[in-house]
Amino acid sequence: MASINQQPAGRPDSGLSFIPVAWLLIVMALSAYGLISSWRLIGDFNLPESVLFLIYGGLTGGVVTILWGLYLLGLAFNRSARFPRHYTIWQVAIILWLVARQAYTLLVPDFVFSAEALGFTVAEIAIGLLCIYLLRRGGGADTVYANPEAERPPLLVSLVAALLGIILGGAIGACIGFLAGSLIADATHMSCFEGACGFFAVFIGLGGLITGAVGGGIFAIWRVNRRKPARSA
């Protein structure tokens, strides 16, 4: 007997339930950029302890955000029914981190108030709340993320694949970016005074590293969690 694919009852999805996935990718990319930008400050003991505390906290938060985000992408690519709930937990944790970081920079005297940074934080929180609202129960997301995941691979497999994808993608992206930066510097006859052309190549290489790492992790998660075609009886 042929099985009937029944969709959960509820309001039909308008496509807005995919916005949280896009925002997840953006947050992961920003976290990867923050890791690259803050890496050179590790071990700089000339900075105040309060600043180092924020830097190390940001590095830890960035790693957790990316790894947790890759797991959520696996759920999203598989249209898992667990994605809305797990995404909501992740987004709440991100919002709490943003509030704690902003409060820390406002209360500690070593930091200078920045209206731009405050506005960016408020915008991130607002977008996060919007994503939570879009994935609410009965909002239509349950018609998209409804896969029971009967053949979903173990979590450890997804994490190992994500780590390998990040490492390989980052290495390939860094090589391609550094090579592209060197070729651009040569083609434009960029001055190498005080290592300007070298810094430019390294900067492009870092961009390639970020893009490759994020792209490699996403591809690995998609490859492992992609749904297999249903077998006919």
pLDDT one-digit tens code per residue, 69-105: 888 887 887 788 888 999 999 999 999 999 998 898 8
Question: Quick one: pLDDT at residue 5?
Answer: 45
Is the pLDDT higher at 214 or at 151? 214
User: 40: closest CA among 168, 222, 229, 199?
Assistant: 199
Report yes or no: 101 and 54 within 8 Å, Cβ to Cβ: yes
Task: Tell me which of 31-35, 43-47, 55-59, 110-114 is least confident.
Answer: 43-47
Rounded-to-integer distance, Cα 207 and Cα 199, Å = 12
The CB density around residue 45, as the number of other CB atoms within 10 Å, is 7
Question: Quick one: pLDDT at residue 156?
Answer: 63
**pLDDT for residue 128 is more than 90:** yes
Mean pLDDT of 187-193: 78
Reading the block at residue 28, the tokens are: 């992961």
The whole model's pTM is what? 0.66
Task: Tell me which of 39-48, 71-80, 198-207, 210-219 is least confident.
Answer: 39-48
